[in-house]
Amino acid sequence: MAVKLSSIINTDELLKLNPSEIILIDARAGINAEENYNKEHLKGARYVDLNKDLAAVEDPANGGRHPLPSFSKFSEVLSKLGISPSSHIIIYDDKNASNAASRFWWMLRSAGHEKVQVVNGGLQEAVKADFPVSSEIETFEAAKKYPVSEWKLKTADIEEVEKVRNNSENIVIDVRDKNRFDGLTEPLDLIAGHIPGAVNVPFSENLDENGLFKPAEILAEKYNSVLENKPSENIIVHCGSGVTACHTLLAMDYAGIEIPKLYVGSWSEWSRNDREMATKEKQ
């Protein structure tokens, strides 16, 4: 029986792998992300763009700021990156996997690709461990069309969140930091606050003081306490736009917990619709 591949790979394990047997992906996002990748990246890494490759360009009120792309678009992205169903994919970003590494991990797993891991500590930890870096243009061949026909992992839409957010048999988790959840600040969306009924479990709590994922057993203890034995289909995880929420889904999978539902639209969609909102004035 094949042993399940850990969703997290430490840098000492990464250094032992044969570069020709893996596909390394740089998934950093934000301002000047691709420019920074071009200046310096882990040697051999191919760049994936959160906005262009891992999301669709649509109305944020209908799906949030980073809605999932179509199956055909994602298939094209994977083929362009040279990824085939047998590829061993290793992903990193420069924000401890909260940038877009965890989102790409979730999308690959949801497309049915099991052989995918995220670098613990990301770019900075790999550089610290003396993984070779480069500013060269990476050349590689595209792969044949990658078959993507469904998202195999569970998702929730805005109507389901509305239906279950106050149900004691369900739990809606918001992974944004406490100040955003409390409505004290909102750097990205139009309104500050949170979905009434949601509980705040910041994704940053998945990490230790060095920016590394806490041990699997510690994460398991934490989330089993939060989830109170609720089945995965009764758990919905969200953030601002369905990206950072994947960090917590990654942490749960690493801890051996079944991956719950992702609300892709998240606060960016909820706050742009005529829905009840808990803001600083309405706590």
- Block mean pLDDT (10 aa), the chain, length 283: 82 96 97 96 98 91 95 97 97 94 98 97 97 96 95 97 97 97 92 97 97 98 96 97 97 98 98 93 60
pTM of the model: 0.96
Query: What DSSP state is assigned to residue 157?
Result: -
Residue whose tokens read 């840098």: 11
Which residues on neighbouring strands pair with residue 261, listed in sequence order? 236
User: Under DSSP, is residue 58 helix (H, G, I), strand (E, B) or coil?
Assistant: coil
pLDDT, residue 106, reads 98
The b-or-e profile of 79-98 (16+ CB within 10 A means b, else e) is bebebeeebbbbbbbbbbbb
- Residue 225: CB partners within 8 Å, gap ≥ 6? none
Instruction: Tell me the three state secondary structure of residue 7.
Output: coil
pLDDT of residue 238: 98
The residue type of 271 is S
Q: What is the pLDDT of residue 2?
A: 55
Q: What local confidence, expressed as pLDDT, does residue 57 receive?
A: 79
pLDDT for residue 33? 96
The catalytic position among 156, 239, 251, 255 is 239
Only one residue has tokens 């940053």, namely 204
- Report residue 236 CA to chain centroid gap: 14
The CA-CA-CA angle for residues 102, 265, 171, to 5°, reads 80
246 is catalytic: no
Nearest-angstrom CA–CA distance, 186 and 65: 14
